[in-house]
């Protein structure tokens, strides 16, 4: 599911980065453009070396020479596209912690603003775990189910003002809450948190949560949100770049494929003429 490309989100994200980091995008596009021109020159040299741009027929020989500008044009377009996406990826990685803090401040910040709100949150969470355990204190329940149960009762108080963080919350709200709950539980020293725990285990952890410093909890939560953000970001852009590179490779193979067909036909024609003689 992580590998599915959400093109509307991607285009919106590119627009967001272009607006906020124009110089970074220009730099990446320039670097990849230079690389693209070098690759184009290298490919043309290789084609000439193996005489893949020469034909016996006059007009056909002129036609295959068009591969040279075509290679440069294709590489310029693809270089700029790859530079754009790599620049966006770099900018968002740099902003990832800030975006994660925006997500945190829009929701769980209010949970730990004081001891009273912290206790209310822990009691709500304890009730959610108790309900999921179905009155069996030893029954294991998944952290993701705890997050969903709590999320139904307590939606985010407000969306982040940062557009990127707001879009992240809208699209991946459930996963964010799972990471938040896991981050809260994992902030307990020597808690030994796994993906599943019983009510008894949670009850023991919740006692330690009450006395924890909110700043320690905050750091753990923000880091978990950041990990989720970076994981989704890497998955989306890795999938896009793989697609771009695949199309580029196919286009660069066209001159060689056509030359192979031409060579094969010329060989058969030569063999046919030899037999006739």
pLDDT tens, position by position, 7-42? 677 777 888 888 888 999 999 999 999 999 999 999
pLDDT tier, 126 (very low <50, low <70, confident <90, very high otherwise) = confident
HSE-CB for 63 with a 13 A CA cutoff: 9
* 8 A C-beta contact, residue 115 and residue 267: no
* 8 A C-beta contact, residue 160 and residue 107: no
Distances, alpha carbon 49 to alpha carbons 64, 121, 147, 255, in Å: 15, 72, 63, 14
- Which of 79-88, 134-143, 263-272 has the weakest average pLDDT? 134-143
Chain length of the chain? 277
Contacts of 80 (CB under 8 A, 6+ apart): 29, 32, 33, 36
CA dist., res. 132 & res. 146, Å (int): 8
pLDDT of residue 19: 85
* Sign of the alpha-carbon dihedral angle for 187, 190, 195, 199: negative
Three-state DSSP state, 175 = helix
In the predicted structure, residue 146 carries a pLDDT above the cut 60: yes
pLDDT in tens, 239-260: 889 999 999 999 999 999 999 9
CA dist., res. 205 & res. 56, Å (int): 81
**Beta pairing partners, 196:** 142
Phi, psi (rounded to 5 degrees) for 18 = -60, -35
pLDDT in tens, 181-195: 777 777 776 655 666
Quote the Cα angle for 127-120-218, to 5°. Answer: 105
In the predicted structure, residue 71 carries a pLDDT above the cut 90: yes
pLDDT of residue 248: 97
Share of the chain above pLDDT 90, in %: 31
Please state the pTM of the whole predicted model. 0.75
pLDDT of residue 1: 40
């Amino acid at each position: 599911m992580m590998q599915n490309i959400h093109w509307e989100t991607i285009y919106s994200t590119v627009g967001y980065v272009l607006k906020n980091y124009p110089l970074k995008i220009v730099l990446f596009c320039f670097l990849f453009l230079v690389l693209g021109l070098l690759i184009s020159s290298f490919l043309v040299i290789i084609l000439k070396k193996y005489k893949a741009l020469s034909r016996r027929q006059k007009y056909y020989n002129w036609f295959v020479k068009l591969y040279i500008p075509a290679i440069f044009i294709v590489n310029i377009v693809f270089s700029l596209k790859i530079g754009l996406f790599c620049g966006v990826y770099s900018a968002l990685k740099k902003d990832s912690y800030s975006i994660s803090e925006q997500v945190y401040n829009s929701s769980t910040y209010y949970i730990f603003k004081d001891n009273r709100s912290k206790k209310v949150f822990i009691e709500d969470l304890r009730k959610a775990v108790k309900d999921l355990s179905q009155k069996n204190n030893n029954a294991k329940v998944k952290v993701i189910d705890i997050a969903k149960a709590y999320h139904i009762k307590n939606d985010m108080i407000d969306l982040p003002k940062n557009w990127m963080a707001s879009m992240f919350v809208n699209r991946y709200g459930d996963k964010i809450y799972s990471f938040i709950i896991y981050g809260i539980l994992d902030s307990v020293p020597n808690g030994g948190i796994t993906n599943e725990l019983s009510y008894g285990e949670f009850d023991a952890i919740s006692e330690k949560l009450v006395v924890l410093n909110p700043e320690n909890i905050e750091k753990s939560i923000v880091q978990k949100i950041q990990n989720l953000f970076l994981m989704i970001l890497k998955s989306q852009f890795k999938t896009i770049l793989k697609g771009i590179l695949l199309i580029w490779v196919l286009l660069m193979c066209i001159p060689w494929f056509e030359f192979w067909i031409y060579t094969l036909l010329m060989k058969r024609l030569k063999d046919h003429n030899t037999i006739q003689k």
